[in-house]
Amino acid sequence: MRDWNALKSRYLRDDLPIRLGNLASNLARINSRCQNLANRDLVESLLQESKVFIEWTAKDAEVEIAAELVELQVELACWQYSWTSIWEDTEQRIKVAEAARIWSEKVLNMSGLLAVN
């Protein structure tokens, strides 16, 4: 069982760009971990953690970014709802992995962490 309060406290210490970077990293891990059937529970926990990261982050983001994060959160919830059937279907799992990769890149771009000063 996770200590969500401790995770939230640590997560919220970071500035918004770092929080978005952490979310992007989670999404990239979803993408890479979908390749191995042994990672089903790990990926499902990353889905939940990512939804929580969005909840803790969107309120501090500009409205355009918050709207995109909410869209992502809904998609994550849909995946989580159908997780058993998605995981058992290779084609569906590959689609989720690719969508997670695309979202990871999008969120990383939103973070501004890659911007050249």
- Please state which of the ranges 1-5, 65-69, 82-86, 103-107 shows the lowest mean pLDDT: 1-5
Instruction: Using a pLDDT cut of 70, give the percent of the chain over it.
Output: 97
- pTM, rounded to two decimals: 0.92
Which are the contacts of 4, defined by CB distance < 8 A and separation ≥ 6? 52
Question: What is the C-alpha separation between 80 and 82, in angstroms, rounded?
Answer: 5
Higher-pLDDT residue of 4, 18: 18
Question: What is the C-alpha separation between 111 and 20, in angstroms, rounded?
Answer: 5
